[in-house]
Structure 1
Amino acid sequence: MKYTTEIIIKKPLKEVINKMNSTENMKHWQEGLVGAEHISGTPGEFGAKMKLNYDFGKRKMELIETITKQNFPNEFHATYNTKGVRNIQQNYFESTPQGHTKWICKNEFEPTNFVMNTMLFLMPRAFKKQTKKYMTNFKNFVENGNSVANA
Structure 2
Amino acid sequence: MKFNGSIDIKQSRDKVAELFADPAYLKEYQEGFEKKELLKGDAGKEGAISKMYYRNGKHEMVLTETIISNNLPDSFEALYHHKHMDNTMKCTFTQLEDGVTRYDTEVNYTRINWVLPRLIAILFPGMYKKPAQRWLENFKNFVEKQ
TM-score range, shorter chain: over 0.9
Alpha-carbon separation, structure 2, partners of 1:39 and 1:119: 32
Residue 71 of structure 1: how far off its partner (Å): 0.3
Aligned-residue identity in percent: 32
Residue 135 of structure 1: how far off its partner (Å): 0.8
State the TM-score, normalized to the length of structure 1: 0.91
Q: 1:4 and 1:42, CA in 2 relative to 1: closer, same or farther beyond 3 A?
A: same
Query: Residue 98 of structure 2 corresponds to which residue in structure 1?
Result: 98
Alpha-carbon separation, structure 2, partners of 1:16 and 1:64: 24
After superposition, the C-alpha distances for 1:129-150 in whole angstroms (9 at most, x for unaligned) are 01001111111110025xxxxx
State the TM-score, normalized to the length of structure 2: 0.94
Residue 57 of structure 1: how far off its partner (Å): 1.1
| 1:66-77 alignment runs, 5 A limit | 66-77=66-77
Query: Residue 123 of structure 2 corresponds to which residue in structure 1?
Result: 122
Query: Residue 49 of structure 1 corresponds to which residue in structure 2?
Result: 49
Query: Residue 135 of structure 2 corresponds to which residue in structure 1?
Result: 134
- Total equivalences in the alignment: 145
| 1:12-31 alignment runs, 5 A limit | 12-31=12-31
Query: Residue 148 of structure 1 corresponds to which residue in structure 2?
Result: none
- Is the partner of 1:73 in helix, strand or coil? coil
Q: 1:77 and 1:124, CA in 2 relative to 1: closer, same or farther beyond 3 A?
A: same
Query: Residue 7 of structure 1 corresponds to which residue in structure 2?
Result: 7
- Structure 2 unpaired stretches of 5+: none
After superposition, the C-alpha distances for 1:95-141 in whole angstroms (9 at most, x for unaligned) are 00222100000010123414232221122101100100111111111
Does structure 2 conserve the Cα–Cα contact (< 8 Å) formed by 1:5 and 1:105? yes
